[in-house]
Amino acid sequence: MVLTADFSQRPLISLQHVWKRYANGTEALRDVELTVPEGDFLFLVGASGAGKSTLIRLLVREEKPTKGKIFVDGQELGRMKRRHLPSYRRKVGLVFQDFKLLPRLTAFENVAFALRVLGEAGRVVQARSKDALEVVGLSNKHDTYPREMSGGEQQRVAIARALVHSPRLIVADEPTGNLDPATGWEIMQLFLQINQRGSTVLMATHNRDIVDVLRRRVVAIDGGQVVRDDRAGGYHEALAASALRA
Ligand SMILES: Nc1ncnc2c1ncn2[C@@H]1O[C@H](COP(=O)(O)OP(=O)(O)O)[C@@H](O)[C@H]1O
Ligand SMILES: [Mg+2]
């Protein structure tokens, strides 16, 4: 089933004929078209090297498209001034496979740091960081350092750090990739809760079980092209689609 966009409201994300060629000539994305309404929960699936992380780097404006346009919340990223980048990145919460916590800071300090660098008042930093750690179930780990935490706990801290700006959009690149299956499921439950509270979630993943069980929107990319966009899909149809094309 091909998803038809809901034009009754402005989409949160819109990619229009997006191409990305890296300096070494690699064509990582080819004519990608994608519309994501506010509130969506979307899995981006595809083999290693398919272009998932490239799409995410374009969305957070770490890279620019070679051709095409990307709109997020009505703003065209290619036209955004450098000085508007910090406020843009605050709208987007980013979560990585390898957590990317600062090792010399405690859980609380890792979350608070994300606000402090923006010059927020101490009171606001304290209150919001505390709330974010509560949402991820780590109220009892404020003073714990990353090396003293399990992988799942570290990923929760990273999610709290992403949530601390109350972002409209959460983008996660293989967030369960370094976790055992049970812990991966706990982290997924957290993303589902965050989505239910109103944030749009876009997640690149290799985790077939999770994609198959949750039956959310699945966008499959292969060789830099969108080859499937299912409203309630599974992981394996992605492989079937690319096998058929081969
Ligand atoms: N910075 C880069 N410079 C050159 N090629 C890159 C760069 N990053 C990724 N690529 C290439 O672009 C393609 C897509 O990579 P990527 O977006 O990381 O895929 P995925 O996340 O699906 O594994 C791959 O062929 C990869 O080798
Ligand atoms: Mg990747």
Is there a domain that residue 62 lies in? yes
**Interhelix angle for 151-163 vs 107-116, to 10°?**
20
- Quote the ligand 2 centre to 125 CA distance (angstroms): 32
Is there a domain that residue 130 lies in? yes
- Quote the ligand 1 centre to 28 CA distance (angstroms): 6
What's residue 241's pLDDT? Answer: 56
State how many domains the chain has. Answer: 1
- Return the residue matching tokens 């038809």: 4
Q: How many whole angstroms separate alpha carbon 25 and alpha carbon 67?
A: 14
Give the domain extent around 150. 13-245
pLDDT at 157 over 70: yes
Is there a domain that residue 154 lies in? yes
CATH number at residue 104: 3.40.50.300
Is there a domain that residue 3 lies in? no
Q: Tell me which H or E stretch contains 143.
A: none
- For atom 8 of ligand 1, the residue with the nearest CA is 54
- Quote the ligand 1 centre to 54 CA distance (angstroms): 6
Is there a domain that residue 5 lies in? no
**Interhelix angle for 122-135 vs 107-116, to 10°?**
130
Give the tens place of pLDDT for each residue, 40-77: 999 999 999 999 999 999 999 999 999 999 999 999 99
Is there a domain that residue 7 lies in? no
Is there a domain that residue 2 lies in? no
Give the tens place of pLDDT for each residue, 93-112: 999 999 999 999 999 999 99
Mutation choice for ligand 1 from 18, 19, 21, 22, CB with most ligand atoms inside 8 A? 22
